[in-house]
Amino acid sequence: MAAKSSCSCGCYCASSDPKTYAQEVCDALMKTDFEMMKKIAEVLLATKENGNMIFTAGNGGSASTASHIINDLTKGCRLNHREGFRTTCLNDSTVLVTCLANDYSYDDVYSILLKTLGHPGDMLIVYSGSGNSPNVVKACIQARKMGITVVGFGGRDGGQMKNWCDYCLLAPTWSMEQLEDLHVVYFHSLVCTLKEMLKTTWDIEIFEYPTPAQSQAMYFFDEKAVRKVPGFDDFIELVTETEINDCEESDDDFIMFCLNDEEVAEAKKAGAYAVGVAVDRKELNLVNERMRMKMLDAGADAIIPNFTNAKRLVNFLMKR
């Protein structure tokens, strides 16, 4: 941790010389806990794969960073037309923040929003230079009560925030300016890490949603073969519980699950909503990127790597 250097205003100051300032940032950057960054990347990816929401929050400059990373997660991590992360910044709505601050307390704005919008399995990413901002600390406490994973980006000694984080990365400096610099570098680095991970890790891809009529029935070209796909048995159990009835409007209103591009083409000819299951036929736990592209070219309406996320798939297809 960099030594404290206070000035007359009581702040911890970085160098006033630009070159020295830059060197101080570089020195602090190389003292970063990079293993913690790897863990945060992994939990971010797991949150995406589970279909959960990522919330961010901060104050002042940290609010700007919390807002900035929404762009990186939503658009920056959108590869090959696959969807980015589901995320929103709690401090982005001036209307909501000022309303809650005026009618209740500024200390409670983020915890109220999180209690309203959050669900177990979601993630909260907070930024605080001191780690003692009451609204950030209260949001962390609320998140932990709700089963929401808390990731904190702080500095200095971590403050109270550190005690309520599942994962916490502290910028090793006492300078507010420099730790905010590092927070932006950290997340841009995480985005680059996530983009590399996403090249071989992908999820449910929906290009067109099924019509209400199509959503009334689901079929498989070869159920025996499909049963080899990870998660298929759990998927069948869920479909059975969901009360999907045979379509009464016409014979070709249905969802068809296909294991190759030929089946996708046949399903499209029949007027079905074609879902490609792009699983490697030799190693069933690996996604076959080549098969995915062939299914896409054949006109698949949606592509999935397997049926592991059965509940999410049904919710998507049934528009619930």
What average pLDDT does range 45-69 have in this prediction? 95
Please give the C-alpha separations between residue 262 and each of 266, 269, 270, 315, in angstroms, as whole numbers. Answer: 6, 11, 13, 26
* Domain boundaries of the chain, sorted by first residue: 18-198, 205-317
- Per-residue pLDDT for 76 more than 50? yes
List the beta strands (DSSP E) in 228-312: 255-258, 273-277, 302-304
DSSP E strand boundaries for 178-287: 205-206, 218-220, 255-258, 273-277
The CATH number given to 18-198 is 3.40.50.10490
Q: Give the neighbor-by-neighbor strand order of the sheet with 255-258.
A: 205-206, 302-304, 273-277, 255-258, 218-220
Tell which phi-psi region holds residue 174, choosing left (phi > 0), alpha (psi between -120 and 50) or beta: alpha
Quick check: 72 and 38 in contact, CB under 8 A?
no
Question: Minimum mean pLDDT among 15-29, 100-114, 137-151, 191-205: which range?
Answer: 191-205
Distance CA 184, CA 191 (A): 11
What's the predicted TM-score (pTM) here? 0.79
Report yes or no: 220 and 256 within 8 Å, Cβ to Cβ. Answer: yes
**Domain covering 205-317 in this structure, CATH number:** 3.40.50.1000
End-to-end CA distance of the chain: 50
| Residues with Cβ within 8 Å of residue 233, at least 6 apart in sequence | 227
Q: For 285-311, what is the mean pLDDT?
A: 83
Tens-digit pLDDT profile for residues 140-177: 999 999 999 999 999 999 999 999 999 999 999 999 99
Whole-angstrom distance, CA of residue 242 vs CA of residue 319: 13
Domains 18-198 and 205-317 equal at CATH topology level: yes
Q: Is residue 248's pLDDT more than 90?
A: no
Single out the residue of 137, 69, 143 nearest to residue 113, CA to CA: 143
Of 270, 282, 281, 272, whose CA–CA distance to 302 is shortest? Answer: 272
- Whether residue 8 has pLDDT greater than 80: no
Phi/psi at 300 (5° precision): -55, 135
Residue 300 pLDDT exceeds 70: yes
Does 9 have pLDDT greater than 50? no
Q: Name which residue leads in pLDDT, 170 or 221.
A: 170
